[in-house]
Amino acid sequence: MKVVVDMNKCQDHGQCVFAAPDVFSFDDAGRLAYVSDPDDALRDEVEEAADVCPLQAIRIED
């Protein structure tokens, strides 16, 4: 599974960090960091993260 976050849209709400902590996190500077090729077993979590992003900045590409 391939995850793409549009960092021009991202406003660091952090909802994805709660939904999929194995994939999304904040770095020391408070900016979003993420795993771009997570294991397929995490698909439910990542879909949830994409759903709850207020800016709808997360895209899942198979």
Partner 1 sequence: MSAPVVVAGASMAGLRAAEQLRAAGYLGPITLIGEEPHMPYNRPPLSKEVLAGKASFESLAFRPRAAVADVEWRLGTRVVAADPDRRAVELEDGEVLSYAGLVVATGMRPRRLRCPGPLDGRHTVRTIDDARGLREALTRPGARVVVVGAGFIGCEVAATAVALGAARVTVVDPMPLPMVGPLGDLLAKALLKRHEERGVDFLLGTGVAGFEGADHVTGVVLGDGTVLPADVVVESVGSIANTEWLDGNGLDLTDGVLTDEHLRVGGRPEVVAVGDVARFPNARYDGVPRRVEHWSIPTDTAKHAARALAAHLGGADAGPDPFAPLPTFWSDQHDFRLQSFGAPGLGLGDVRVLDGDPDGDVLVGYHTGGRLVGVVALGGQAAAAAAARYRAELLKLPAPTA
Provide the minimum distance between the beta carbon of 6 and partner 1 in the complex, in angstroms, as a whole number. Answer: 9
| Closest-CA residue to 52 (of 24, 29, 22) | 24
Is residue 26 within 8 Å of residue 14, measured between CB atoms? yes
How far is 60 from 48, CA to CA, in rounded Å? 11
Per CB under 8 A, contacts with partner 1 among 33-62 are 47, 51-52, 54-56, 59, 62
Q: Which member of 27, 28, 30, 41 binds partner 1 (CB under 8 A)?
A: 30
Read off the DSSP letter of residue 37: S
Residue numbers at the binding site for partner 1 (CB under 8 A): 9, 11-15, 17-18, 26, 30, 47, 51-52, 54-56, 59, 62
